[in-house]
């Protein structure tokens, strides 16, 4: 169990670790501030691969065995880590006169040039994400294999806590490593940890049962392609680009076309029979709404701290940490509570906590202070954590033994779909709302005969107007996130305690 938890923590940690090393990375790659959109693909690319492979790898673990897919995922992750660690650190190949004058000087120059580009980092990060995306759903399925139905609750809570804690620790770990070492060591240090986790899995986890059947390669491609295209479309919202329509059109075409393909084969990569199960559908709807609300909160809180409360980025991160640290605590509590309670009870309580806290946060302005701020953040964080175990357990139990990998992959993916929709809503709706509120607000310019005092007064009024607009936008974000949580209570009602089998 320790090895499984470590693997989940590991995958989540690497998802966010680049946040604090991007400035160093930009310097080494000679990327200017105006080219920040290129570097942002080190995060977007990781998210794409991470989300796209989850449902596919979960199902493949049903066919090839959990341990085999886990090992494969970890090896792919290690390979990608080595690639990223090589970035801007291969100059020694051409610094050596012997190597430079050898027959291999051409290929060596190519390696050095290739590894000093943003494209190299993006590609290697995507490779990493493909491996990491396999670890989370397979780990959840492993837990379901190890523990019988009545004893999975606490284990699911620990898995959820590990995933949340990994995402929280990632930026801190990146900052600590780069304080003493080059940023590339963030990825070199992945290797010894990965080896220890692999040894733990190989020694403690049996190969397990497998189901017979051919692999649905076409279906896997359609599912992964649909997730990639829709994620790309969502991440492009707010931009004036025709590619958005292409992404969404092709992504929706893959989704619409997949059921027709799956109905004609005996072993589809995503079994359609799962979507006839009310519990499974309900838990995924809850997870999508939960993910959207969580992402809106994660983005809005530090942004408001930086712009309205005039806090530094570090202070904004510390304010957000009151919510993020509470999430893994809530996840463990959720695992404990559902051992003896109907899974709907802690789920509904969690959504009420999140919704209430976020709806109260809509009244935050530039004068918000502790302890009220911390109370709202901690309540929201505990709620966001409390719901993880009951929702995950409901989905995994609803699929039966032969579909645990598939259910684990889909329930994990649904949360990230929700998070993608949440960030897209902020990007598209937020920018439009800001432009509308700015109408009629003019930048004060010094006019003839105006005194310095008068100009200063008009500047203060302008700043007050901008602050008020910002507060209004952030209030709308919190209100929307809170309403989403309250709406999630309805599908939550259909998450019955009984599990289904096929």
Instruction: Kindly write down the DSSP assignment for every residue of 341-363, as one continuous string.
Output: S-THHHHHHHHHHHHHHHHHHTT
- Print burial letters for 44-75: b (CB count within 10 Å at least 16), e (below 16): bbbbbbbbbbbbbbbbbbbbbbbbbbbbbbbe
Angle at 71 between CA 65 and CA 72, to 5 degrees: 90
222: number of Cβ within 10 Å: 20
Place 380 in a pLDDT band, splitting at 50, 70 and 90: very high
Angle between helices 388-397 and 326-337 (to 10 degrees): 50
Quick check: 501 pLDDT over 50?
Answer: no
Q: Is residue 2 scored above 60 in pLDDT?
A: yes
CA terminus-to-terminus distance, the chain: 27
485 within 8 A of 354, measured Cβ to Cβ: yes
| pLDDT, tens digit, 9 for 90 and up, residues 306-337 | 777 877 766 777 888 888 889 888 988 988 88
Quote the Cα angle for 138-143-146, to 5°: 120
Give the pLDDT score at 227.
Answer: 82
Number of Cα atoms under 13 Å in the Cβ half of residue 254: 19
Q: Is residue 447 very low, low, confident or very high in pLDDT (cuts 50, 70, 90)?
A: low
By three-state DSSP, how is residue 193 classified? helix
The angle at the Cα of 115, spanning 111 to 121, to the nearest 5 degrees, equals 145
How much is the average pLDDT of 355-361? 94
What digits encode the pLDDT tens for the residues 127-151?
998 888 888 888 888 887 787 766 7
Residues 219, 265 contacting (CB under 8 angstroms): yes
- Reported as half-sphere exposure (CB side, CA atoms, 13 A), residue 92 has a value of 4
Share of the chain above pLDDT 90, in %: 15
pTM for the model: 0.77
Ordered structural domains, the chain, with CATH: 1-215 (1.20.1250.20), 273-502 (1.20.1250.20)
pLDDT in tens, 272-309: 888 888 889 999 999 999 988 988 888 788 778 877 78
Q: What's the confidence (pLDDT) of residue 357? A: 95
Q: How far is CA 49 from CA 56, 206, 380, 415, 462, in A?
A: 11, 28, 29, 15, 44
Mean pLDDT (the chain) is 79
Q: How many residues does the chain have?
A: 502
What pLDDT does residue 348 have?
A: 93
What is residue 117's DSSP assignment?
S
**Residue 500's pLDDT band (cuts 50, 70, 90):** very low
User: CB of 162 within 8 A of CB of 154?
Assistant: no
CA 418, CA 163: separation in Å to the nearest integer? 16
Q: Are 431 and 299 in contact (CB under 8 A)?
A: no
Q: Is residue 81 scored above 80 in pLDDT? A: yes
User: For 483, which DSSP code?
Assistant: H
């Amino acid at each position: 169990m320790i090895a499984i938890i470590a693997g989940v923590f590991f995958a989540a940690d690497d998802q966010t670790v680049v946040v604090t090393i991007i400035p160093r990375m930009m310097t080494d790659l000679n990327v200017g501030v105006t080219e920040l959109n290129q570097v942002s693909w080190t995060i977007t690319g990781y998210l794409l691969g991470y989300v796209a492979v989850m449902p596919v790898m979960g199902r493949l673990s049903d066919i090839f065995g959990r341990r085999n897919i886990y090992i494969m995922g970890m090896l792919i992750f290690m390979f990608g880590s080595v690639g990223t660690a090589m970035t801007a650190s291969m100059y020694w190949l051409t610094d050596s006169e012997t190597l430079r004058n050898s027959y291999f000087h051409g290929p060596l120059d190519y390696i050095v040039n290739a590894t000093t580009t943003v494209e190299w980092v993006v590609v290697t990060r995507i490779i990493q994400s493909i491996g990491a995306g396999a670890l989370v759903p397979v780990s959840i399925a492993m837990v379901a294999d190890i523990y019988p139905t009545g004893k999975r609750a606490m284990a699911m809570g620990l898995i959820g806590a590990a995933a949340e804690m990994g995402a929280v620790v990632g930026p801190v770990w990146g900052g600590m490593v780069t304080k003493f070492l080059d940023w590339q060591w963030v990825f070199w240090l992945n290797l010894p940890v990965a080896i220890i986790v692999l040894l733990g899995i190989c020694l403690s986890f049996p190969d397990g049962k497998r189901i017979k059947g051919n692999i649905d390669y076409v279906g896997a491609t359609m599912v992964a392609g649909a997730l990639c295209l829709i994620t790309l479309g969502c991440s492009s919202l707010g931009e004036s680009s025709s590619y958005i329509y292409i992404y969404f059109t092709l992504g929706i075409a893959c989704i619409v076309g997949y059921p027709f393909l799956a109905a004609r084969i005996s072993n589809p990569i995503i079994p359609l029979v799962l979507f006839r199960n009310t519990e499974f559908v309900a838990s995924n709807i809850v997870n999508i709404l939960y993910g959207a609300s969580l992402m809106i909160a994660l983005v809005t809180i530090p942004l408001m701290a930086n712009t309205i409360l005039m806090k530094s980025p570090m202070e904004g991160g510390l304010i957000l940490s009151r919510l993020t640290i509470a999430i893994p605590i809530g996840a463990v509590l959720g695992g404990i509570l559902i051992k003896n309670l109907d899974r709907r009870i802690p789920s509904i309580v969690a959504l009420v906590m999140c919704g209430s806290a976020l709806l109260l946060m809509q009244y935050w302005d530039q004068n918000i202070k502790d302890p009220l701020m911390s109370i709202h953040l901690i309540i929201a964080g505990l709620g966001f954590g409390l719901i993880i175990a009951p929702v995950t357990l409901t989905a995994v139990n609803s699929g039966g033994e032969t579909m645990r990998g598939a259910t684990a992959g889909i329930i994990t993916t649904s949360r990230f779909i929700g998070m993608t929709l949440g960030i897209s809503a902020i990007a598209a709706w937020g920018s439009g709302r800001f432009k509308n509120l700015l109408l009629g607000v003019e930048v004060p310019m010094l006019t003839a005969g105006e005194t310095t005092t008068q100009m200063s007064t008009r500047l203060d009024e302008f700043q007050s107007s901008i602050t008020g607009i910002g507060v209004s936008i952030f209030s709308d974000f919190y209100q929307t996130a809170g309403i989403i949580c309250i709406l999630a209570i309805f599908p939550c009602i259909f998450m019955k305690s009984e599990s289904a089998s096929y």
